[in-house]
Structure 1
Amino acid sequence: MADKTFLTWPFLDDRHRALAADLETWAEANLDHLDHSDTDTACKHLVADLGHAGFLQHTGSPGGTLDVRSLCLIRETLARHDGLADFSFAMQGLGTGAISLFGTDAQKQEWLPLTRNGKAISAFALTEPQSGSDVANSTMTAEDDGDAYVLNGEKTWISNGGIADIYTLFARTGEAPGAKGLSAFLVTPDVSGFEVVERLETIAPHPLATLRFTDCRIAKSSLIGTPGAGFRIAMSVLDIFRSTVAAAALGFARRALDEALHRVTTRNIQGAPLFDLQLVQGHIADMALDIDAAALLIYRAAWTKDSGAPRVTREAAMAKLFSTDQAQQVIDKAVQLHGGDGVRSGTTVEKLYREIRALRIYEGASDVQKIIIARQTLQQIL
């Protein structure tokens, strides 16, 4: 059983503790024996089930605010039980974050009831073949053509690509060079000229795709916010959801520690329990320390944002960098403690080993987070 003492920390309120308890009960009843043989089908079922259970209500906000602590608690709990469940929940929030924060009343009224009830799947289309972390270098265009915008270009590594009902997409409208010339749009896959070019396979299967847009005409009402505000919109959304990526990593790490504790207390070596070995105790200590330190950084960032901070760029970057990198180490130790069983295909720690790696890359790679933290720190004295 994963440690729950962090729920008593002052970062969290009684409503968060109640949410964690409700979700834990639901997850134990619904996530322990999921069929992942068809990833697309599994994701669709998970979105529907999470919506029916009411947990997707936390992914969108008609009022324009999102409770980051709730998002983190949900992602941590889901990741501890099932990585694909965490993914399915997270994308409903990331995909509609721009609508919640910057959308018009009409956009919110059309899409948030559908995504929050699990009746529509959302996606966040930012990355391009030549501009991953360098968002300001995006080359996809949205040309103003009277009563419409015309989209041309490609997006890649798009989560839920190929199964989403609505995409939040970023394209260059040219108000200024670089970051100031991007805008955000809502695009549905039924628009003429939309094409799924390739489905991308990864070591931990998720629905991912490369998308192509060729002379796609979308209504002016598809614009989110104002022309040229796309970079600010994207960064504001990531500012919230980076902390939740860290929370997912924390969930993976907690599960790895649980598996390791079970292994070392039930496995004998040389006539004594495995946990009697001092080196094993050292690994367990390191794992517990990394998990608690990650949790403190995550809920510090989430609490700071929920307390009214306009941005938590530094706090979220620290949480994501430390939590994802250290979760990788925690899981690696769990694999090591399992010996040969740790690399047996299909075991829990083997699946965790594959799940964690992508979190150190998406929504800002670890190296990018270091640059962000350094710049934010230097700004305090320059």
Structure 2
Amino acid sequence: MPAFSLDPSQTAWCAELRDLAAERLRPLADKGEPGHVNRPLVAELGRLGLLERLFTSGALDLCLMRESLAHSCTEAETALALQGLGAHPVHAHGTRAQRERWLPRVAEGSAVAAFALSEPGAGSDAAALELRAEGEAAGDGEGESPAAEPDGPARWRLTGEKCWISNAPEADFYTVFARTTPGAGARGVTAFLVPADRPGLTGTGLDMLSPHPIGSLTFDAVPVTADDVLGEPDRGFRVAMGTLNLFRPSVGAFAVGMAQAALDATLAHTAERDAFGGKLRDLQAVAHQVAEMALRTEAARLMVYAAATAYDEKAPDVPGRAAMAKLLATETAQYVVDSAVQLHGARALRHGHLLEHLYREVRAPRIYEGASEVQRGIIAKELYATMEAGQ
């Protein structure tokens, strides 16, 4: 359904992506094992050139990709998104050596990335991170050390836990956020690029409602050096928030894709299903429900596209717009999928039905990358800041 100001080439690209997802990605997704990284699927995303576009496209293109893939294959959408989420900090803040080592492998689908921010006691309150990065003097430990910074250590040891990390523990590298300055809140967090084979790094998969891989990580004095820092020491929170500002609207796009798939299925079902001497669509209560589903889906789509365009245009109100887009779209998708299940009846509850799958998928986006309550807090904070700036 055309929306916003998409030009004909963008509309055609979205249709092509939906077809690719159904014909080439869906069969690979069906062969995957729930709860584990589907490496053949990731590799196919690389062969199709979609992973490379994570680093060459803007926020609107990212949203179009995620929405289109989600409509036909949520597993492919999630695999693409997790590659982007884990690798974007390397693309945006990494050194030349970091980018040259990892980004080509991410783009071709031979290396799996992960974004490790949440902890058992620091989910929605990301500034409360407790994973410790304890400094060592330059030259401590074995091997040659990098040049020491004049005002800080060149080496650290990471100790603590991360939890609810997508692609853990099977990723090849992690963007890890750790506390380098105790008691400093958001100002004392540093982002590190940590390869999965570092000594002391272990992980365990978690059995979750969503079918994609999620796990916990344990850091037992994992060594990192200045060469592993993404951005600047004690400025890692900016890396995290910059990444989330880009990906939050596209989480909304994922949700819109699922909502559209549920709406399309409902239109087909209610047009064909016999009930009470006619078709389900002939019942006013059903027709009005379908209309409401369509209304909310389109409103969410427009807000997602607007937020992505604001990001691409470097507008000053991106945090608020991104939060609004994620909030509206994920809450809308929950409503639309739930309504679709209700209109389909018991058949939608059978394992293997599209709506049974969407019902499991749609719940998590209201929590990850900032729960709905967090998004409301961000929106309010931005509104008051704008008001005070204008006084």
For this structure pair, what is the TM-score category when the shorter chain's length is used for normalisation? Answer: over 0.9
1:103 CA displacement? 1.3
AA at the equivalent of 2:165: I
Equivalent of residue 120 in structure 1, options 82, 94, 111: 111
Matches within 5 A, 1:297-336: 297-309=303-315, 312-336=318-342
Provide the rounded CA distance (Å) in 1 between the counterparts of 2:314 and 2:289.
38
Deviations 1:136-166 (A, max 9, x none): 1101111221232211110000000021111
**1-structure distance, mates of 2:161, 2:286:** 49
Alpha-carbon distance between aligned partners in 2 of 1:321 and 1:167, rounded to the nearest angstrom? 27
Q: Is the 8 A contact 1:175 1:228 kept in 2?
A: no
Which whole-Å CA distance do the structure 2 matches of 1:36 and 1:157 have between them?
24
What is the root-mean-square deviation of aligned Cα atoms in Å? 1.6
Tell me the equivalent position of 1:28.
22
CA distance 1:213–1:15, change in 2 (3 Å)? farther
Which residue in 2 is equivalent to 1:86? 77
Amino acid paired to 2:10 = H
2:276 paired residue among 260, 270, 283: 270
Check 1:177–1:38 CA distance in 2 against 1; reply closer, same or farther (3 A cut): same
Q: In the alignment, is residue 246 of structure 1 matched against residue 252 of structure 2?
A: yes
In the aligned structure 1, how far is the partner of 2:102 from the partner of 2:285? 53
Q: Is the 8 A contact 1:236 1:311 kept in 2?
A: no
Pair 180,76 (structure 1): closer, same or farther in 2 beyond 3 Å: same
Secondary structure, counterpart of 2:90 in structure 1: helix
TM-score normalized by the length of structure 1? 0.93
1:371 to 368, 377, 385: 377
Listed one character per residue, the Cα deviations across residues 50-76 of structure 1 (whole Å, up to 9, x for unaligned) are 001101112225xxxx51111101111
The yes-or-no answer on 1:160 pairing with 2:167 is yes
Distance 1:22 1:37, change over 3 A: closer
CA shift for structure 1 position 39: 2.9
Question: 1:78 and 1:51 mapped to 2: Cα distance?
Answer: 14
SS of 2:351's equivalent in the other structure is: coil
Contact 1:200/1:208 (<8 A) preserved: yes
Q: 1:86 to 1:291 in 2, by over 3 A?
A: same
Query: Which amino acid in structure 2 is aligned with residue 359 of structure 1?
Result: P
How many angstroms does 1:255 deviate by?
A: 0.3
Unaligned runs of 5+ in 1: none
User: 2:43 aligns to what?
Assistant: 48
Looking at structure 2, the residues matched to 46 and 83 of structure 1 have their Cα atoms a distance apart, in angstroms, of: 12
The amino acid across from 1:191 in the alignment is R
Q: CA deviation at 1:25?
A: 3.0
Identity %: 43
Mapped to 1, the partners of 2:20 and 2:387 lie a distance apart of 48
What is the CA–CA distance in structure 2 between the aligned matches of 1:310 and 1:169, rounded to whole Å? 27
CA 1:13/1:116 → structure 2, altered by over 3 Å: closer, same or farther?
farther
Deviates more, 1:35-44 or 1:363-372: 35-44
User: Equivalent residue for 2:2?
Assistant: 5
Q: Which SS does the other structure have where 2:38 is aligned?
A: helix
- The whole-number CA distance in structure 2 between the counterparts of 1:30 and 1:37 is 14
How far off is 1:356 after superposition?
0.3
The offset of 1:18, in angstroms, is 4.7
- 238-247 or 144-153, larger mean C-alpha shift: 144-153
Structure 1 residues 249 and 124: CA distance shift in structure 2, 3 A: same
Contact 2:36/2:167 (8 A) holds in 1: no
Work out whether residues 43 and 85 of structure 1, in 8 Å CA contact, stay in contact via their aligned partners in 2. no
Counterpart for residue 235 of structure 1? 241
Aligned mates of 1:322, 1:107 — CA distance in 2 = 36
- Asked if the contact 2:320/2:378 (under 8 Å) is kept, the reply is yes
Write out the 4+ residue segments of structure 1 that deviate beyond 4 Å after TM superposition. Answer: none
Match status 1:143 vs 2:134: yes
| Aligned residue number for residue 151 of structure 2 | none
Aligned with 1:38: secondary structure?
A: coil
Deviation at 1:21, TM superposition (A): 3.6
Which is further off, 252-261 or 203-212? 203-212
Equivalent pair of 2:210/2:361 in contact (CA under 8 Å): yes
- Confirm whether residue 58 of structure 1 aligns to residue 53 of structure 2: yes
How big is each residue's C-alpha offset from its partner over 1:228-269, in whole Å with a ceiling of 9 and x where there is no partner? 111111000000000010000000000000110111011011
Residue 169 of structure 1, CA deviation: 0.3
What letter is aligned with 2:354?
T
Q: How far apart are the structure 2 equivalents of 1:381 and 1:311? A: 12
Q: Structure 1, residues 260-287: CA drift from partner, whole Å, max 9, x if none?
A: 0111011011220110000001111100
Distance in 2 (CA, whole Å) between partners of 1:188 and 1:138 is 20
Q: 2:225 aligns with which of 203, 219, 226?
A: 219
Gaps of 5+ in 2: 139-144, 146-154
SS in 2 for 1:174: coil
What is the alpha-carbon distance in structure 2 between the residues aligned to residue 90 and residue 43 of structure 1? Answer: 13
**Secondary structure of the equivalent of 1:227?**
coil
Task: Compute the displacement of 1:206 (Å).
Answer: 1.3
C-alpha contact 2:26 2:76 (8 A) present in aligned 1: no
Q: Is the 8 A contact 2:260 2:297 kept in 1?
A: yes
For 1:165 and 1:57, how far apart are their aligned partners in 2?
Answer: 17
Q: TM-score, normalised by structure 2?
A: 0.91
